[in-house]
Amino acid sequence: MQTSDRLRRLKFRAWHRGTREADYMIGCFFDRHHATWSESDIDLFERMVEEEDVDIMAWALGSLPIPPLYAGTMMDAMIRLDYVEIPR
């Protein structure tokens, strides 16, 4: 699958989580960072978006420990996400 196809699919997954809060956190994170991702970053995000919303949000907010698989640069950037532009 081409990278552009993967990114389109991941954008959809990032923005269609099930709750508005998760859509904004994960979708806006995707929008802000995906252009700089390597293939391995895309692989990791692809795997992470299969996790439960409540877990991803809890890792980013620090209320649950981050599993070793997701600990690192990407989750660090999600933790630092302090502003999201909410689409109208």
pLDDT for position 2:
78
Q: pLDDT by residue (tens digit) across 19-67?
A: 999 999 999 999 999 999 999 999 999 999 999 999 999 999 999 999 9
Q: Whole-prediction pTM value?
A: 0.88
CA distance 1 to 51: 22
CATH superfamily of 3-80: Flavinator of succinate dehydrogenase (1.10.150.250)
CA distance 10 to 67: 21
pLDDT for position 10:
97
Domain range list for the chain: 3-80
